[in-house]
Amino acid sequence: MFEISIDSIEEYKSKSLLTPDCGAVVTFEGRVRNHNEGQCVDSLEYEVYKTLAEKEGEKILQNAKVKFHIINAFCIHRIGHLQIGDLAVWIGVTSKHRREAFKACEFIINSVKEAVPIWKKENYCDKSIESKWVYCQEDYH
């Protein structure tokens, strides 16, 4: 399941994804860091086109299930005004063995960054620099 949340997502844990046949759980946390491309970042503002984002996000999770034969996949993305250290995206993948779960988790975060209509604006520590909408680059950070 793919979800968008305006509220904190800090409480997300993998336990809810577990099933008796699962031997591996891989989770990913994307957090707001304090710098980007040489600039000191003060906070981020995320915006979403919710209907399409949920649709595209769900498609990515279904593709991951088919491609990597995993058992379960979940992704939640925060929107709104986030501070440094806040959790922006949480992904949990379960599978029988670890290899599929690692691969699927990376596939999901890469695909989310590429295809889900979510945007982020950087606010800088130096207030003389105008806040800017940033775009994901081809190479994955």
Partner 1 sequence: MKIKVMYFAVLREQAKKSDEILEISFTNPRDIYNYLKRKYNFSLEISELKVAVNDCYEDFDIELKEMDSLVFIPPVAGG
Q: Does 52 bind partner 1 (CB under 8 A)?
A: yes
Q: Which of residues 15-34 bind partner 1 (CB under 8 A)?
A: 30
**Residue list 76-105, contact with partner 1 (CB under 8 A):** 77, 88-89
Stretch that binds partner 1, among 15-23, 63-71, 92-100, 132-140 (CB under 8 A): 132-140
φ and ψ of 136, to 5 deg:
-70, 140
Size of the site for partner 1 (CB under 8 A): 27
- Among the listed ranges 7-15, 16-24, 66-74, 128-136, the one in contact with partner 1 (CB under 8 A) is 128-136
